[in-house]
């Protein structure tokens, strides 16, 4: 093949193909010819990596969310690796199905009648005699008793023992209940970003729904979402944040949380409840989960429950 011949390139089209001699010039008689130094490829590879980095930066400039998403994924992976190397309280190598089997009997569906109509949320069983933890916004405006449905379909009527709207915590009492499966509560002070979690509740009234993901961030102030941004409770309403909105420091997770999950359990891989699902960020009132959900740390919830019981 001569210097002017062409062949099909692997990227399509034709590329010039030049024949390079093995030796740069004939060796003198009686001497072993010395091959030329190998062709350097480092700059070409480096240029490719550099161009990729520039392209990513340009994408980030055009769409900040895209680049933030990439950085967030990288950070979470690194944190997850660190967490697995450490001794994180309450975590084991249990799969999601085993976690679900353990926790589902301790999560209930909460049906509420208000003057505006019917609404659905979730709750977590605290005691065998029917004490149940949920969000205050789940039972807000309830007319009369609420209906509790266990994972096996059995139902009880329940009264609201107390509620803290700022902390978004409420305690219910199922009437005539006994032998219920109480949830195991974990320690939310020992959580790590990247740690695997499972969310259980009744999104859209679909009871016993299980989703999984990781802890995306800790100590997230809901005010970080931004004034005027839409914050959707996974219950029955989407509204702009106001001064009357709940105010607490939350666990952020990418486990799918949708309307109806409010008051349900966020659990670690040991099946311990480490948060109460309470809100999701949605770019519009019609959108569902976009992978940005929030849960009230269980340690905070336990403090509020104790206060409500002692009122």
Between residues 205 and 14, which one has the greater pLDDT?
A: 205
Least reliable range by pLDDT among 47-56, 172-181, 209-218, 298-307:
47-56
With CA atoms as reference, report the closest residue to 197 among 257, 134, 279: 257
Whether the predicted pLDDT of 296 surpasses 50: yes
- Secondary structure E strands in 17-165: 107-114, 117-125, 131-134, 146-149, 155-164
With CA atoms as reference, report the closest residue to 303 among 109, 107, 159, 166: 166
The correct answer on CATH 2.20.28.90 for the domain covering 184-299 is: no
Cβ pair 263, 276 in contact under 8 A: yes
- Catalytic residue numbers, as ranges: 137, 168, 262
Q: How far is 18 from 4, CA to CA, in rounded Å?
A: 7
Between residues 199 and 16, which one has the greater pLDDT?
A: 199
Contacts of 64 by beta carbon, 8 Å cutoff, 6+ apart: none
Whether the predicted pLDDT of 112 surpasses 60: yes
Q: Give residue-wise pLDDT tens across range 254-269.
A: 999 999 999 999 999 9
Domain spans in the chain, listed from the N-terminal domain onward: 51-82, 184-299
What percentage of residues in the chain have a pLDDT greater than 90? Answer: 55
With CA atoms as reference, report the closest residue to 124 among 278, 15, 258: 278
Q: How far is 307 from 311, CA to CA, in rounded Å?
A: 6
Q: How far is 100 from 121, CA to CA, in rounded Å?
A: 18
User: What's this model's pTM, rounded to 2 decimal places?
Assistant: 0.67
- What is the average pLDDT across 68-85? 29
What percentage of residues in the chain have a pLDDT greater than 70? Answer: 61
């Amino acid at each position: 093949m001569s210097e002017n011949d062409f062949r099909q390139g692997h990227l399509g089209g034709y590329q010039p193909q030049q024949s390079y001699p093995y030796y740069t010039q004939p060796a003198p008689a009686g001497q072993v010819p010395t091959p030329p130094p190998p062709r350097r490829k480092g700059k070409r590879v480096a240029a490719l990596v550099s161009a990729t980095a520039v392209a990513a930066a340009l994408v980030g400039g055009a769409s900040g969310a895209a680049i933030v998403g990439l950085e967030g994924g990288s950070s979470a992976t690194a944190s997850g690796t660190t967490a697995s190397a450490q001794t994180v309280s309450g975590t084991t190598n249990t799969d999601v199905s085993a976690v679900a089997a353990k926790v589902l009997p301790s999560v209930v569906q909460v049906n509420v009648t208000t003057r505006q109509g019917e609404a659905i949320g979730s709750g977590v069983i605290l005691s065998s005699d029917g004490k149940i933890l949920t969000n205050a916004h789940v039972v807000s405006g309830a007319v009369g008793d609420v209906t509790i449905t266990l994972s096996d379909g059995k139902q009880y009527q329940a009264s609201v023992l107390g509620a803290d709207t700022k902390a978004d915590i409420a305690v219910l009492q199922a009437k005539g209940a006994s032998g219920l499966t109480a949830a195991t509560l974990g320690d939310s002070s020992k959580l790590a970003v990247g740690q695997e979690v499972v969310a259980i509740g009744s999104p859209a009234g679909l009871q016993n729904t299980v989703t999984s993901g990781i802890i995306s961030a800790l100590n997230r102030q809901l005010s970080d979402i931004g004034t005027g941004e839409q914050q959707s409770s996974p219950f029955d309403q989407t509204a702009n944040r106001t001064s009357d909105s709940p105010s607490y420091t939350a666990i952020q997770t990418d486990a799918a949380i949708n309307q109806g999950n409010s008051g349900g359990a966020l659990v670690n891989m040991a099946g311990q409840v480490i948060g109460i699902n309470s809100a999701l960020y949605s770019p519009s009132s019609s959108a569902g989960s976009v992978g940005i959900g929030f849960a009230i740390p269980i340690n905070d919830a336990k403090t509020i429950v104790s206060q409500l019981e002692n009122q």
